[in-house]
C-alpha cells in the first residue's frame, strides 16, 4: 500500500498508541516543517523527554513536504508558522489537497499573534503551541492522536453505513422475493419492485396507492388475515405462512410469507415487515404430485384388494370407492348382461347425485352398446344436464375370456376426460374383470373341492366300514374256526394220545400253529377295529396298542392329558388311525423303534365352553429322517405306496377341520403334529357312530355281536 492510499485507511495508532509504543517501542513518526535545525532539535528533545522514540524528517519547502508525504505515513505534523520559503497555512493547504484530513497538524511558533493563531485553527490546524511553552507539546500531541483516531473511525463507520445502505438498496431493488412493510392495521407502507411484480402492479408506488383495503382487496380468505395478525401478536413472527391473494388482474396466487413484528420504543406494535414468495407453481406441482400419489396408492390398494379377496360383491363395492377417490367421479355403475342380453345394474355408487333420466339418455345407451360391441372404451358428453359435477361420461367394457360380459359406466366433471384419468379407469376395469373371473373360477374350484372332500369322506367311511366288516368276518369266521380247531386238537390229544414220540411232536406242532393262527386273527381284528376303542375310548385303545408294541421291543415314551371325558367318536377314530399309521410308518421306514408320543387337550380359552378346544397329537421318532421338499407327502424316499399313509393321515385330519404338519431332516428323525378341533358329535360309542348303520349279516341281524 502506498502512502497516498493509506490516507483513507484507519491508522494503527490511536487511543492505544502510547501503550502500544511502550510495549513495542514503536517510534512516533513526526514530519517537522521547520527551517531552523536548532528549533527542530529542541522539539525532538521535548518529545523524547515525553517518552517518545521519534522517527522524523525535517522539510522547509512545499516540494520537500510533498516528497516526504509520498515517502511514508506520518503520525503528526509539527510546523513553524512563518519561514522564508514556506508557511504553516501553506503546509496545511498542501495536506488537505493531498487527502490527509485526519493527520494532526500542530503549529509551534514564537512569533504569531492571537489573531493569526485563531485564523490558522479555523483553517484546519489542530492546535497551537508557543515555543516558550513546549511543555504543552507532548499532551497536545497525545490528545490530537486520540482525536484523529476517533475522526478516522467515525468517517469509516459513516462510509460503512453508506455502503451498507447502498447494498441494502441493491438487495431491496433486485431481490427475487417481495419485501414489504405494513402498519399494524395492514396498510402497505413499503414494497420493493418484486413485490409489485408478484401481484401484477407496474410499480411499488402503484401497489401502495391501490391497496387501500388489504383485507378486502388482497386476501382470498379474509380469515387468513385474522390468523396472520393473531400469530404475529402471539409469537412476534411467522414462517412459511401460506395464503392465497388476489392479483391486480383478479387472478389468484399462492404465497409464502416470512414476517416479524416491528415495535415502537414503548413496545407497542407499529407494524409488520417481511418477505413474500410466489409459490403458485410449487402448489400446483404439489397438488399434481398428491393426485399422482393418490392414484398410485389407489392402484396399489386395488391390486391388493383384487389379489386378497375372491368375493365378487366386495371387489365391486370397494373398487367403485377407489375409482371415485382417485378420479373424482360423481357416480359409477357396474351393469352385467342378463339372460335376455339386456344390461342390469349389479353394483353402483353415487347414482343419487345424477339426474333421474341421465342414464336413459340416447347418448348413454349408444355408448353402452358401442362399448359392448367394440369392447373398447367410449367417452360421451352430457350436453343438457346443467350439472357441472356430471359433464362427461365413460363406458368401459368388462371383458372376461375375451368377451364383454358387462359395462362399467362412470360420470363426472370435465377432468374425467383427461387421458391419464381414462387410462387409470381402464386399468382398474381390466383388473376388476380379471378379479371377477378369478372369483368365478374360485367358486367352481371350491365346489369341486367340496365334492372331492365329500368323496374322500365317503371313502374313509367306507374304508372304516370295510375294516369293521372284515374284522367281524375274521372274528366270526376264521377266528372262531381256528379257536374251535385248537380246542378239538387239545381234546383229541387228551383222549387219543399218540403211542409214538414222533406222533406226539407232530400233534403238538399242529396245535401250536393253530394257536398262533388264533392269536394272529385276534391281532388282525384289533388292528382293523380295536374293541377297546369302541368300548373304552381313545385313551385305553392307545395304551393297549402301545403296550403291544412295547412287548415287541419298542421304546415308546407316551404322555397324555386328555382328561376323563370321552371325545366325539369321529375324533377318536381319526386320532387313533393317525397314531396307527404313524407308528406303522416308523416301523417300516425310520429304522428305529424309539418314539415320543403325546396327546394333549387344549381349551379354547378361559372360561371355555364345555367340549370346546383342540386335541394336539405329536409323534416324534429318532430314525433316519428324510427331506420333505424332495419327497412331498412321503415318509421316506421310495415308491408311490409310501405316500398313501401320509396322505391318509392328512385327509383324516383335514376332514375334521384340523391342521397336519410334518418336519423331518436326514439323520435327525421326523416330527408329526396334528391339531384337531373338538366339534359337536356323538361322544364315544361303537363303530356305527363313525361309519353309520352297521352292515347286516345273512340273517338280517347286525354282525359283530361277539368279541374274540
> What string of DSSP letters covers 621-674?
E-S----GGGSTT-SSSS-THHHHHHHHHHHHHHHTT-EEEEEE-TTS-EEEEE
Distance (Å, whole) CA 10 – CA 155: 9
Domains and CATH numbers, the chain: 5-165 (3.40.50.2300), 176-278 (3.30.450.20), 305-447 (3.30.450.40), 530-686 (3.30.565.10)
> In Å, what is the CA distance from 698 to each residue of 265, 383, 472, 566?
122, 86, 13, 33
> What does the pLDDT read at residue 598?
94
Question: Per residue in 599-616, is it b (16+ CB within 10 Å) or e — as a string?
Answer: beeeeeeeeeeeeebbbb
Q: Nearest CA to 548 among 515, 573, 514, 525?
A: 525
> In Å, what is the CA distance from 36 to each residue of 60, 62, 84, 363?
9, 16, 11, 120
pLDDT digits (tens, 9 = 90+) for 362-418: 888 888 888 888 888 888 888 765 555 678 888 988 887 777 888 888 888 887 777
20, exposed or middle or buried, with CB in 10 Å at 0-12, 13-18, 19+? middle
Residue keyed to cell 385305553: 540
> What does the pLDDT read at residue 243?
92
pLDDT digits (tens, 9 = 90+) for 658-688: 899 999 889 889 999 999 988 655 555 443 4
> What does the pLDDT read at residue 133?
82
Average pLDDT for runs of 10 along the chain of length 708: 40 42 67 87 88 90 89 88 86 83 83 76 82 84 85 83 79 85 86 91 90 77 88 90 91 93 87 92 85 73 66 76 77 82 82 81 88 87 67 86 82 79 79 74 78 69 69 70 78 78 80 78 68 80 90 92 84 87 89 93 59 85 80 42 68 85 90 84 48 38 37
pTM summary value:
0.40
> In Å, what is the CA distance from 234 to each residue of 228, 229, 231, 246?
10, 8, 5, 26
**Max alpha carbon distance in the chain (Å)?**
187
> What does the pLDDT read at residue 2?
39
Q: Is the peptide bond prior to 637 cis by the omega test (within 30 degrees of 0)?
A: no
> In Å, what is the CA distance from 668 to each residue of 553, 627, 663?
21, 10, 10
Amino acid at each position: 500500500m502506498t502512502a497516498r492510499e493509506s490516507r483513507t485507511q484507519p491508522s494503527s495508532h490511536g487511543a492505544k498508541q502510547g501503550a502500544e509504543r511502550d510495549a513495542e517501542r514503536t517510534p512516533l513518526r513526526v514530519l517537522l516543517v521547520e527551517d531552523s535545525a536548532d528549533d527542530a532539535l529542541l522539539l525532538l528533545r521535548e518529545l523524547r523527554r515525553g517518552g517518545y522514540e521519534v522517527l522524523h524528517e525535517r522539510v522547509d519547502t512545499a516540494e520537500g513536504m510533498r516528497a516526504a508525504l509520498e515517502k511514508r505515513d506520518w503520525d503528526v505534523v509539527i510546523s513553524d508558522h512563518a519561514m522564508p520559503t514556506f508557511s504553516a497555512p501553506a503546509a496545511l493547504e498542501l495536506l488537505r489537497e493531498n487527502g490527509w484530513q485526519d493527520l494532526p497538524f500542530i503549529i509551534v511558533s514564537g512569533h504569531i499573534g492571537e489573531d493569526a493563531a485563531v485564523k490558522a485553527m479555523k483553517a484546519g490546524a489542530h492546535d497551537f503551541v508557543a515555543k516558550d511553552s513546549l511543555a504543552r507539546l507532548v499532551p497536545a500531541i497525545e490528545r490530537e492522536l486520540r482525536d484523529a483516531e476517533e475522526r478516522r473511525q467515525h468517517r469509516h463507520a459513516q462510509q460503512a453505513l453508506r455502503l451498507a445502505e447502498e447494498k441494502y438498496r441493491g438487495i431491496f431493488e433486485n431481490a427475487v422475493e417481495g419485501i414489504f412493510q405494513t402498519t399494524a392495521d395492514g396498510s402497505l407502507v413499503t414494497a420493493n419492485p418484486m413485490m409489485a411484480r408478484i401481484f401484477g402492479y407496474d410499480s411499488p408506488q402503484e401497489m401502495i396507492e391501490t391497496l387501500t383495503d388489504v383485507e378486502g382487496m388482497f386476501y382470498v380468505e379474509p380469515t387468513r388475515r385474522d390468523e396472520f395478525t393473531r400469530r404475529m401478536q402471539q409469537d412476534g413472527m411467522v414462517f412459511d405462512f401460506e395464503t392465497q391473494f388476489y392479483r391486480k388482474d383478479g387472478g389468484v396466487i399462492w404465497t409464502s410469507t416470512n414476517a416479524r413484528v416491528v415495535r415502537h420504543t414503548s413496545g407497542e406494535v407499529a407494524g409488520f415487515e417481511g418477505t413474500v414468495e410466489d409459490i403458485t407453481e410449487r402448489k400446483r406441482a404439489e397438488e399434481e404430485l398428491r393426485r399422482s400419489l393418490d392414484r398410485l396408492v389407489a392402484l396399489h390398494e386395488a391390486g391388493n384388494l383384487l389379489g386378497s379377496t375372491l368375493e365378487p360383491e366386495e371387489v365391486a363395492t370397494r373398487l367403485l370407492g377407489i375409482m371415485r377417490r382417485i378420479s373424482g367421479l360423481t357416480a359409477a355403475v357396474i351393469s352385467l348382461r342378463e339372460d335376455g342380453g339386456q344390461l342390469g345394474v349389479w353394483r353402483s355408487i353415487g347414482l343419487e347425485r345424477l339426474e333421474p333420466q341421465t342414464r336413459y339418455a340416447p347418448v348413454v345407451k349408444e355408448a353402452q352398446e358401442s362399448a359392448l360391441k367394440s369392447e373398447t372404451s367410449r367417452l360421451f358428453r352430457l350436453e343438457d344436464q346443467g350439472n357441472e359435477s356430471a359433464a362427461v361420461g365413460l363406458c368401459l367394457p368388462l371383458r372376461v375370456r375375451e368377451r364383454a360380459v358387462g359395462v362399467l359406466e362412470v360420470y363426472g366433471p370435465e377432468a374425467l376426460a383427461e387421458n391419464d384419468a381414462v387410462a387409470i379407469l381402464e386399468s382398474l376395469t381390466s383388473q376388476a374383470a380379471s378379479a371377477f373371473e378369478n372369483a368365478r373360477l374360485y367358486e367352481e374350484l371350491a365346489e369341486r373341492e367340496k365334492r372331492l372332500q365329500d368323496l374322500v369322506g365317503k371313502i374313509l367311511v367306507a374304508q372304516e366300514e370295510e375294516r369293521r366288516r372284515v374284522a367281524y368276518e375274521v372274528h366270526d369266521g376264521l377266528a372262531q374256526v381256528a379257536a374251535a380247531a385248537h380246542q378239538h386238537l387239545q381234546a383229541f390229544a387228551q383222549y387219543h394220545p399218540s403211542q409214538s414220540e414222533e406222533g406226539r411232536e407232530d400233534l403238538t406242532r399242529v396245535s401250536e400253529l393253530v394257536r398262533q393262527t388264533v392269536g394272529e386273527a385276534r391281532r388282525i381284528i384289533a388292528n382293523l377295529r380295536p374293541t377297546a376303542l369302541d368300548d373304552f375310548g381313545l385313551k385305553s385303545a392307545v395304551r393297549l396298542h402301545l403296550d403291544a408294541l412295547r412287548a415287541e421291543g419298542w421304546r415308546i415314551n407316551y404322555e397324555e392329558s386328555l382328561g376323563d371325558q370321552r371325545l366325539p367318536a369321529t375324533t377318536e377314530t381319526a386320532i387313533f388311525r393317525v397314531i396307527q399309521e404313524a407308528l406303522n410308518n416308523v416301523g417300516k421306514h425310520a429304522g428305529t423303534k424309539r418314539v415320543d408320543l403325546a396327546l394333549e387337550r387344549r381349551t379354547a380359552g378361559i372360561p371355555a365352553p364345555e367340549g370346546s378346544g383342540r386335541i394336539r397329537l405329536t409323534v416324534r421318532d429318532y430314525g433316519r429322517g428324510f427331506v420333505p421338499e424332495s419327497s412331498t407327502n412321503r415318509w421316506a424316499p421310495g415308491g408311490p405306496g409310501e405316500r398313501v399313509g401320509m396322505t391318509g393321515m392328512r385327509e383324516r385330519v383335514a376332514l375334521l377341520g384340523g391342521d397336519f404338519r410334518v418336519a423331518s431332516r436326514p439323520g435327525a428323525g421326523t416330527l408329526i403334529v396334528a391339531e384337531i378341533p373338538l366339534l359337536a358329535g356323538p361322544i364315544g360309542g361303537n363303530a356305527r357312530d363313525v361309519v353309520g348303520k352297521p352292515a347286516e349279516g345273512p340273517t338280517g341281524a347286525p354282525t359283530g355281536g361277539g368279541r374274540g
